[in-house]
Amino acid sequence: MRRVVTAIPGPRSIELAARRAAAVPAGLASSSPVYADRAADGVLVDVDGNSFIDLGSGIAVTTVGNGAPRVVERAAAQLGRFTHTCFLVNGYESYVEVCETLNRLTPGSHAKRTALFNTGSEAVENAVKYARAATGRPAVVVFDHAFHGRSLLTMSMTAKNMPYKNGFGPFAPEVYRVPMAYPYRWPSGSEHAAAEAFAQFRLVVDTQIGAGSVAAVVVEPIQGEGGFIVPAPGFLRQVADFCAERGILLVADEVQTGIARTGNWFASEHEGIVPDLITTAKGLGGGLPLAAVTGRADVMDAAHAGGIGGTYSGNPVACEAALGVFETIESQGLLARARRIGEMLQAELTAIAADTNIIGDIRGRGAMIAAEFVTGADKAPNRDAVAEIVRYAQANGVLTLTAGTFGNVLRFLPPLTISDDLLLEGLGVIRDAVARI
């Protein structure tokens, strides 16, 4: 289980860091200084023999655990058959089956199609291509605190300058930003967030951009990198209805929230919205690179043959892994497990918050829960506290991630296969870390 046998980082990790510094550019920054040797079910063992409780799942990727048996068996069998044909040259069944499964599981009973890609950025980028092809309109509307990726278009759609955009412009045109209904920081109070944010959204779309120029509104149903911001209740519904009235396509970016993470297959379900297009990635491939756009058949079929795709998109090993992910979620009841983990996280964090005034907000759904740290009643972001908690946790065998526009959010994304004991032990270390501040 949790076992720290060296200083963190240990000597082997320090050695690898030195080699890395000479071989890998500085722009690739790791949040933890330890190098992995192996990992499974919420435990990561480093090259020095230290065992960490993993509360981050490699950023919401290993939702079914690291090396879930069905993922490994299916991927390994596929490696023995063939590793690649390129779906644009020769198709294969697993690709089609992943698409059929996503068409079935995503919200809405309308006719759907799915296209596969390698990364979340690529999925978002292609969702915009589909939306533009289907509507003949150029503009894309995104929100404050959004994160949609690091490619030119998706970096342009991402809100935060540092580190994602600074120095990397000029950015892609026709990207417009509107306020997010962020309950904790809404100026006139959380109870006004939904109505006022929607009024501003409508005003910008109708008077500044012109609804007839907007191809898509792209929104994360819970904002991930932005700090696990759950939009004020009803906000997404109003946005969805508005889009439907104006012929604007609603794209739910579920790259982080999708595939059972929030206790439903998709976070859109919690808000009762049926997006026109949904992007998935992170949890989809069980650790292998796989991403998807799933959407209304008429929208998806609007792009001409050859206009969409990629050499590696929908790799057969990754597709088999994804089929293993679906099987694992269903056979192990991981939707219910995500909700249970969410209850435990909420309860433990609420108890920790009772003893301090630096936790301003606890939010999220299912196994996607965060605590926002502040300096006190003034709600000033407390980035230093979060950095110190992460450092203490690492030194004591727990891996956690941060998030938020102000870097002051501690986020929890444990694998759904983590045991209660391991989760509670990990949160006990977080409690000690908070108590020290």
Ligand X SMILES: *Cc1c(COP(=O)(O)O)cnc(C)c1O
Contact footprint for ligand X (CB under 6 A): 119-121, 124, 147-149, 220, 224-225, 253, 255-256, 281-282
Q: Strand 51-54 and strand 43-46: pairing? A: antiparallel
Please say which residue, 337 or 411, places its beta carbon nearer to ligand X: 411
Please say which residue, 144 or 253, places its beta carbon nearer to ligand X: 253
Please say which residue, 148 or 296, places its beta carbon nearer to ligand X: 148
The CB-side HSE value for 115 (13 A sphere, CA atoms) comes to: 28
Cis peptide before 183 (omega within 30 of 0): no
Please say which residue, 194 or 403, places its beta carbon nearer to ligand X: 403
Please say which residue, 225 or 271, places its beta carbon nearer to ligand X: 225
DSSP assigned state of 264: S
CB of 200 to ligand X, least distance (A): 22
Please say which residue, 147 or 392, places its beta carbon nearer to ligand X: 147
What is the rounded distance in angstroms from the CA atom of residue 104 to the CA atom of residue 278? 13
Measured from each CB, the residue nearest to ligand X is: 120
The amino acid occupying position 18 is A
CB of 119 to ligand X, least distance (A): 4
CB of 46 to ligand X, least distance (A): 23
Reading the block at residue 227, the tokens are 């700090």
Reading the block at residue 198, the tokens are 């929607």
CB of 314 to ligand X, least distance (A): 15
Please say which residue, 122 or 361, places its beta carbon nearer to ligand X: 122
CB of 379 to ligand X, least distance (A): 25
Please say which residue, 48 or 372, places its beta carbon nearer to ligand X: 372
CB of 257 to ligand X, least distance (A): 7
Work out the number of other CB atoms within 10 angstroms of the CB of residue 327.
18
Please say which residue, 126 or 382, places its beta carbon nearer to ligand X: 126
CB of 147 to ligand X, least distance (A): 5
What is the rounded distance in angstroms from the CA atom of residue 123 to the CA atom of residue 144? 20
DSSP assigned state of 3: B
What is the rounded distance in angstroms from the CA atom of residue 172 to the CA atom of residue 208? 18
What is the rounded distance in angstroms from the CA atom of residue 215 to the CA atom of residue 251? 10
| 3-class state of residue 430 by DSSP | helix
What is the rounded distance in angstroms from the CA atom of residue 384 to the CA atom of residue 8? 20
Q: Which residues pair with 403 in a beta bridge?
A: 409
CB of 90 to ligand X, least distance (A): 26
| 3-class state of residue 360 by DSSP | strand
What is the rounded distance in angstroms from the CA atom of residue 120 to the CA atom of residue 380? 32
CB of 225 to ligand X, least distance (A): 6
Reading the block at residue 323, the tokens are 């089929």
What is the rounded distance in angstroms from the CA atom of residue 367 to the CA atom of residue 144? 23
